[in-house]
């Protein structure tokens, strides 16, 4: 079964606004670095981007748990957000491969010893 889900792209609505409009779906929350599963205006579950990076199918798993489904294929805006967040991970990994990148990630001007 493939579900087309709504997504709060760009984090431009507050939690109060999502509650008021009885939002159901997945919201990406870049401020908190997590996905949020919303059901009828209530945040039911969250999944950190860190866990998603470690377990690429964890979003589908958490979504199935929230809605009592056995299997789901995420598509549309949700799939695009997943690709974007996975790309961020690749970018960070590439930065960790260079001294300059590690210095930027470390947010200091000091030389990093290998």
Domain chopping of the chain, boundaries: 2-106
More confident position, 73 or 20: 20
More confident position, 19 or 92: 19
Of 12, 44, 39, give the one whose Cα is nearest residue 28: 12
- Token pair 């079964």 is found at 1
- Percent of the chain beyond pLDDT 90? 9
Do residues 32 and 47 make contact, with C-beta atoms less than 8 angstroms apart?
no
Rounded distance, CA 99 to CA 104, Å?
9
Q: What is the mean pLDDT of residues 8-15?
A: 66
| pTM of the full structure | 0.64
Task: Answer yes or no: is pLDDT of 20 > 70.
Answer: yes
Query: Order of strands across the sheet with 34-39?
Result: 6-8, 25-29, 34-39, 42-48
């Amino acid at each position: 079964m493939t579900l087309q889900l709504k997504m709060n792209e760009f984090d431009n609505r507050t939690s109060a606004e999502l509650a008021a409009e009885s939002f159901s779906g997945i919201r990406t929350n870049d401020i908190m670095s997590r996905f949020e599963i919303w059901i009828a205006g209530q945040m039911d579950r969250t999944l950190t981007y860190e866990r998603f990076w470690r377990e690429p199918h964890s979003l589908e798993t958490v979504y199935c748990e929230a809605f009592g489904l056995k299997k789901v294929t995420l598509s549309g805006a949700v799939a695009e957000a997943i690709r974007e967040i996975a790309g961020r991970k690749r970018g960070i990994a590439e930065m960790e491969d260079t001294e300059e990148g590690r210095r930027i990630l470390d947010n200091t001007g000091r030389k990093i010893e290998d």
